[in-house]
Amino acid sequence: MEHAKTSVAGEASAPARGRRPNWKPFAAGGAALLLIAGAWLLLRAPTESTDDAFVEADIVPISARISGHVARVLVEDNQPVKAGDALAEIDPDDFQTRVDQARAKSASDRALVEKTRADLGRAKALFAKDEASREELDHAQAASEQAAADLAEAEAELRRAELDLSYTKVVAPEAGRVTRKSVEAGAYVQVGQPLLALVPQEAWVVANFKETQLTRMRSGQHAEVVVDSYPDQTLRGHVDSIQDGTGSRFSLLPAENATGNYVKVVQRVPVKIVLDEKLSGGRLLAPGMSVEATVDLK
């Protein structure tokens, strides 16, 4: 009996050991996950990113337009200024004297013009009555023309003197921040000598993408920028333009591959990204700051 029971139990357990696991639920779940991942990849727009990107901005050099001693410097390094704000002043005394002299010369020449014109009128009247010779008339005419020419020259000198006087006040051509201040009160400056530089408020990003990343990149595409100094904020922007040439081509010493062995190196092309918004909280966005740029290629 015990042997019979054992045989029956063995026969009953044999089908259980030979039964294959049911993988259909797992296969259905995997297929669903693949479909979801495929749909996400299709719906997600392709992007290109690079961390070889930097903030750029115009740097406006402010130079002396006249020679003279600096009377005052009215700004400090990194100070924000508005367009038209005074930055420095060159001693105006000598230039004011030149203006006064030019005005006096102009007034004298103007009086001489009036006199010679009156003389010319009388000479013409006398010549018409045969009371003056042609030589006298020609002399009066020449004197009048010379006086007019002298007046024009004097007025030009006056305008130049007034212009030089205006140059004694160095003003900001646009809003920005003062940088590279290299002038102090009492220094003597020459024409064209740099005094300081001005960095305007408008900034953009130059992202150096690999040439293999430019296949679908076009002007106007949406871009996102994260400044390394402020990783908690993403700035929106757009592709403004793509440089017509690689960065190495515009370097000081462009590569020359016409001789010797050649190893192909993927080049980088600067892409200008214009920012559509500003940093919050008055954060500083300065030229040279590192950023990470991502371009949406859709």
Q: Can you list the domains of the chain with their CATH numbers?
A: 47-58+201-296 (2.40.30.170), 92-167 (1.10.287)
In the prediction, which pLDDT does 11 show? 47
Read off the pLDDT of each residue in 95-110 and give the average, rounded to a whole number. 96
In the prediction, which pLDDT does 130 show? 85
Higher local confidence (pLDDT), 261 or 181 = 181
Angle between helix axes 134-166 and 93-128 (nearest 10 degrees) is: 160
Read off the pLDDT of each residue in 85-105 and give the average, rounded to a whole number. 96
Read off the pLDDT of each residue in 235-261 and give the average, rounded to a whole number. 84
pLDDT in tens, 24-52: 565 666 666 777 766 555 555 589 999 99
In the prediction, which pLDDT does 284 show? 87
Residue spans of alpha helices (H) in 241-283: none
Read off the pLDDT of each residue in 226-245 and give the average, rounded to a whole number. 94
* Cα–Cα distance measured from residue 233 to residue 222, given in angstroms and rounded to the nearest whole number: 17
pLDDT at 282 over 90: no
pLDDT band, very low/low/confident/very high, at 231 (cuts 50, 70, 90): very high
Taking alpha carbons only, the member of 59, 77, 73, 58 closest to residue 189 is 73
Task: Round the average pLDDT of the chain to a whole number and report it.
Answer: 87
Percent above pLDDT 90 for the chain: 67
Read off the pLDDT of each residue in 50-63 and give the average, rounded to a whole number. 95
* Cα–Cα distance measured from residue 293 to residue 298, given in angstroms and rounded to the nearest whole number: 16
pTM of the model: 0.70
In the prediction, which pLDDT does 23 show? 58
Taking alpha carbons only, the member of 273, 279, 283, 272 closest to residue 235 is 279
In the prediction, which pLDDT does 114 show? 94
In the prediction, which pLDDT does 19 show? 60
